[in-house]
Copies of this chain bind each other. A is one copy, B any other.
């Protein structure tokens, strides 16, 4: 274990720190998608999408396979789905905290 765990965690979260990559993962959680299908859903250039897919491939969060004239992507493990669900849940909770601290306390006390 050369890399300290907290650094691995940071790298991992960094991978998730991009809107397009989040969208890709969410779409792939529903079902496998061909690249051109993702392209229809996510407004980015083909090359840019490909770059983000490469990032996700490098971290083993997704895998690709060629099928006919197209390349299909899918999430590499069910844990990825779990992760996104957990994130959604926790983010919702934190948004509450966020609101509270941003709100000048309406009429509390």
Q: A77-B97, A79-B90, A101-B60 are in contact. Are A18 and B10 (CB under 8 A)?
A: yes
Judging by beta carbons under 8 Å apart, are A76 and B91 in contact? no
Distance A80 CA – B12 CA, assembled complex (angstroms): 17
How many chain copies does the complex carry? 2
Neighbouring B residues of A8 by C-beta, 8 Å: 91, 95
Does residue A17 face the partner (Cβ distance < 8 Å to B)? yes
> Which residue of chain B has its CB nearest to the CB of A9?
B22
- Confirm or deny: A93 has a beta carbon within 8 angstroms of a beta carbon on chain B: yes
Interface of A, helix, strand, loop or mixed by DSSP: helix
Of chain B, the residue at the smallest CB distance from A8 is: B91
CB-based contact B79/A83 at 8 Å: no
Besides the known contacts A6-B26, A8-B95, A60-B94, 6 further A-B residue pairs in the complex with CB atoms under 8 A apart: A7-B19, A16-B17, A59-B98, A61-B94, A77-B93, A83-B86
